[in-house]
Structure 1
Amino acid sequence: MKNYFLFSIKETPSIASAYAPEETPLAHELIQQIDQSDELPFELELFKLSSGKTGLMKSTYLADLQNIWLDYQPNSLAWPLFSERLKEIFSRNLSGLEGLDWIKVRINGNDEQRVYFIPRFERKLDVIDENKTKYITGTDRIIVPHFSSIKIDKLAVFHKPQAHDFWKITPELYVSDDLKKAIQKERIKGVSFEKVIVV
């Protein structure tokens, strides 16, 4: 049986994070607004985030960070935000059954602008083993997903079912072992892989 992994950002004490403008709607509201668009209608700005004794601190001072432009850029929307390099790794490894497209995002920081990409699913994928998945009693909200090996066999990346259209753009991206190896081969840093349950 193939292995699959939850793909996410590795947490660090200090990091550059891309922030949407103050008046931006909440991420789940924004999904509907950009549903037919291939570009985010606003630009993001980089800030330094660091953990301190009083909690999370936000600063415009980026000079003491080793690298502000990350392949998987943290951001205020809590969406996956990929460099062109990471987007290309994903694109090269897709089977075509994932229904993935990309939203272009412009990020400003350190007196330059770079283009990043948000992966978006065009259709809701059927990936769960309903009998073994654990739900909140009386709801369809998943506590512990159990993915069906038959349903995900030909997918390089997928999402778990979520209410409304939250599955379209989600921070919970699951990747195949082959895609994981491709990401590691290209020495993408600052990311982590957590093995998930496949039945």
Structure 2
Amino acid sequence: MTQTLSPRSLALLAGAAALALLALDQPAQAHQIATGGLAAGFLHPISGADHLLLLIAVGAAAAQLSSQLLLWALAGAVAGGVAGAMGAAVPGLELLAALAISAVALLVLRSVRSHQASPQVLAAGLVASAVATHAMLHGLEAPAEGAALGWWFGAFAASVVVSGGSFLVLRRMPQAWTRALALLLVLCGGVASLGVLGLLVR
């Protein structure tokens, strides 16, 4: 007997394919000095696959573990953004940014599979650190001219929309969706990491 896919399964597969394509399309390598104001800032976090995937992972973590993780993500964003704007950087930052996606997704996957939340301090520290890594890249890319304030506001608004939207959607969905998404994000983070390593060894 032939099994047909339900609309829910089809939607999940479509989302999985879209995320996989995002991870494969120039993973964590399209970072350049940003220009423009509000609109450019809004598009910046969602036009880079690695940033977008991390924002979704943060929303999933908040939905699975605690909504307070969104506040920790905000703290990490501020700290990393300020550090990057001041010129701070760490070795292998692009690689760390890609690995951060898998790290947050593994946190979610562990919680779903074990049916118990990870220690709050560990989860908060991991999410804040992961977001700080990406925000540091934002800070290094941010425009230095008068449009910088609008750019930062736009980038912040886009990050809130994606993470908050992911949180609101996933908290109302069956856990099977969160598990599937977390597994996919782990794989996408791995693909993005391989992409960065491939650039480094060229």
When normalised by structure 1's length, the TM-score is 0.30
More strand by share: 1
Larger relative contact order, structure 1 or 2 (CA cutoff 8 Å, min sep 6): 2
More helix by share: 2
When normalised by structure 2's length, the TM-score is 0.30
